[in-house]
Chains A and B, each alone.
Chain A
Amino acid sequence: EDQVTQSPEALRLQEGESSSLNCSYTVSGLRGLFWYRQDPGKGPEFLFTLYSAGEEKEKERLKATLTKKESFLHITAPKPEDSATYLCAGTQGGSEKLVFGKGTKLTVNP
């Protein structure tokens, strides 16, 4: 069964303290690995798509990387406004559904 597992479930950081979120997947024939950010009471907001091992993408303080078994979301010098739940999801070739992990709730304290 296709699965996406995120760790840790929750992470508290001080402003400026860099860290990484992990997303491991067992999606056979992975087509795309997606990262989303979700704020309370809102729908997920798209961040990145990664398609092949070794690929990296950056946006402001965030950098997403992909290996054959997992993806990392690196957060450099986070700010309180980066506080949110970060979700990763995978898609399988021939399937149009996203399989989501349960997310990592990130809190950045000033």
Chain B
Amino acid sequence: KAGVTQTPRYLIKTRGQQVTLSCSPISGHRSVSWYQQTPGQGLQFLFEYFSETQRNKGNFPGRFSGRQFSNSRSEMNVSTLELGDSALYLCASTVGSSSYNEQFFGPGTRLTVL
């Protein structure tokens, strides 16, 4: 069974640009969550989608947005990039409820903002 895939794996952008990251969950998983990981803050929850609906959102500014498609694939977008947005962005999928079921993580997208 294929795992969670994320594209691209690495990105370099400049301040003010926008970026779109993609995540394909494990087949049959309908919930996709996004996390930001930095050395200082660790892993922080961005948002979670289930059946194309955002169920939860973390404490991030509106520049961070996401969506989920009918095939459960998800994208997240960051507009007007800032230096502090440099991080590893991780996507995770699970079968149903993330409260009870383990999430399976992808390898992440390493975003560098110059």
Which A positions have Cβ atoms within 8 angstroms of B?
31-32, 34, 36, 41-46, 49, 51, 87, 89, 91-103
Contacts and interface: CB of A to CB of B under 8 A. Distances in A.
Interface SS, B side: strand
Nearest to B104: A46
B4 A96 contact: no
A91 to B, nearest CB: 4
Nearest to B54: A96
A32 B105 contact: no
A49 B99 contact: no
B43 to A, nearest CB: 4
Contacts, number: 70
A95 B43 CA distance: 17
Contacts of A96: 31, 33, 48, 50, 55-56, 97-99
Q: 3 closest A-B pairs (Cβ-Cβ)? A: A43-B105, A100-B43, A102-B42
Contacts of B65: none
Interface string B33-77: 101000000111100101000011010000000000000000000
Contacts of B58: 97
Given A99-B45, A100-B44, 4 more contacts: A43-B92, A96-B55, A97-B58, A98-B33
B43 A97 contact: no
Nearest to A31: B99
